Amino acid sequence: MCYYVDSTLTKKEIKDVYNIGYEGKDFEAQPFLNGYSHPLVAVILDENPAVATAANWGLIPSWARDRSIQKQTLNARIETIAEKPSYRNNYQKRCLVLVKGFYEWKWLDGKGKVKQKHFLTLPNTKLIALGGIYGTWTDQESGEQLTTFSIVTTAANELMTEIHNIKRRMPIVLTKAMEKEWLTDRAIQDFAFPNHEADLVAVNLDQSLEPTTLF
């Protein structure tokens, strides 16, 4: 799964890497960003890839009455994305979720009381793009419009199976060659592992065996 990311990229880095500008609200640039706070994250939307913008983490389907569903939609499983009510109307609306990398924990005991924290990214890159889907939701009480997104996940590759050793999932990590493909109408299952794989590198941030508290 993917619930924590490093979002400390800058608008200049986005411009340097993608040669595009930035519009909209500022994203939250934090080294350890918690998806459960539904923060604004930098994204590139397929409907306007000439600019980057910000969207709230946790997709809200158009039929939702309020934002409470967001805690359940941080991630969307690629295997069922076209069927689940929360995603089936949005799974062809794709975005690049721009981060420096993401975090995952390896369980060192059977109950998850002792974990090792790992940081994952692509080598020799200023930032990486995770595959996301998005939508626009209108708050019926205030009239406010929000752009919201989910990170799409797939079965873990060999590296992530070793780290995410219980649920064995990972986000769709897009190589530069595949970013534009993600933003087209290419079949989404083409990006599921093992159809697509990126050469992730992992850094063990916690060599100790002390318990790690996530919340």
Question: Is 9 among the domain residues?
Answer: yes
**Paired tokens of 47:** 């409907």
- Establish if 211 belongs to a structural domain: no
Domain that holds residue 54: 4-100+127-156+168-197
d(CA 30, CA 15): 19
H or E segment at 138? strand 128-138
Tell me what pLDDT residue 208 has: 53
Q: DSSP label at 142? A: T
Count how many domains the chain has: 1
* pLDDT, position 76: 98
Q: Reply yes or no on whether the pLDDT at 214 is more than 50.
A: no
Residue 135 lies in a domain: yes
Residue 212 inside a domain? The answer is no
Average pLDDT score, the chain: 93
Does residue 116 belong to any structural domain of this protein? no
CATH code assigned at 50 = 3.90.1680.10
Please indicate, yes or no, if residue 23 is contained in any of the structural domains: yes
Cβ atoms of 52 and 21 within 8 Å: the answer is yes
Could you give the CA distance from residue 10 to residue 49 in angstroms, rounded to a whole number? Answer: 17
Q: What is the pLDDT of residues 56-110, one digit of tens each?
A: 999 999 999 999 999 999 999 999 999 999 999 999 999 999 999 999 999 888 7
pLDDT exceeds cutoff 50 at 202: yes
Average of per-residue pLDDT across 116-127:
94
Q: What share of the chain in percent tops pLDDT 90?
A: 85
Query: Domain for residue 191, yes or no?
Result: yes
Confidence class for position 162, pLDDT limits 50, 70, 90: very high
Instruction: Judge contact between 104 and 112, C-beta under 8 A.
Output: no
User: What pLDDT digit, counting tens, does each position of 54-65 carry?
Assistant: 999 999 999 999
CA 2 to chain centre: 6
Per-residue pLDDT band at 116 (split at 50, 70, 90): very high
